[in-house]
Amino acid sequence: MNFVVISQSVRVCEERRSRVDLVDQRLTNFIQFCGYLPVPAPNNLCSQIDDPNLRQIRLEAWLEKISPLGIILSGGANIGCYPDRDLTENMLLDYAERKKMPVLGICRGMQVMASRANGRLHEISGHVKSRHSLKGKITREVNSFHNFSVKALPQNFEVLARSMDGEIEAIKHQDLPMEGWMWHPEREERYVLQDVKRLKKIFSTDKKTFHK
């Protein structure tokens, strides 16, 4: 069984003076359904280390101990709400790019992926708690829970799908096994076979399979 590292959201409870990392069980269920074992990435693994080199050493030591097949950047709060999460996810992407490791960015995760590659985001309306159809290389109806979208395509990526109002809904790196989806595959009442197949294609160890 292959491990998949998942980034986590953050929840702050002032009454209990607690700061909690969390991941939706629907996402870990989806990952297991696809045949992988999820491993949540702690957001405080590197955030309290000032030296960037030491942060990198700490994260790489943790990842190499786990030896994951790939990484999933989960959805959740907007970029900038929790700097420790932003740092963790960007460092995970740095590592994945160096190792040519598969990555799927879900909703916010796709936004992080795009922002890191110099793509621009903009605020939109009509995409929160709604469903809409896709056009492009991916054509189907999807759920939608985001109020920001990728306005300018990031470097070295191509568009896989747009919503009918023209917003970018899915992207793929031109050279690396990395994709971003603005919908949440884990939030469907029944998992969509197309999502399962695409995830397995991204995480395939056969590089020829990814680029078909």
Active site residue 188: no
Distance CA 96, CA 91 (A): 9
Active site residue 141: no
Q: Where are the beta strands (DSSP E) in the chain?
A: 2-6, 9-13, 18-22, 36-40, 70-73, 103-106, 120-123, 128-136, 141-145, 148-152, 157-163, 168-173, 178-181
Catalytic residue, from 89, 167, 179, 186: name it. Answer: 186
Catalytic residue, from 127, 146, 173, 184: name it. Answer: 184
Nearest to 72 by CA among 114, 28, 35, 42: 28
Instruction: Record the tokens describing residue 125, joined without a space.
Output: 């309306």
Return the H-helix or E-strand segment holding 33: helix 25-33
Catalytic residue, from 46, 89, 107, 146: name it. Answer: 107
| Residue 92 amino acid letter | L
Catalytic residue annotation? 107, 184, 186
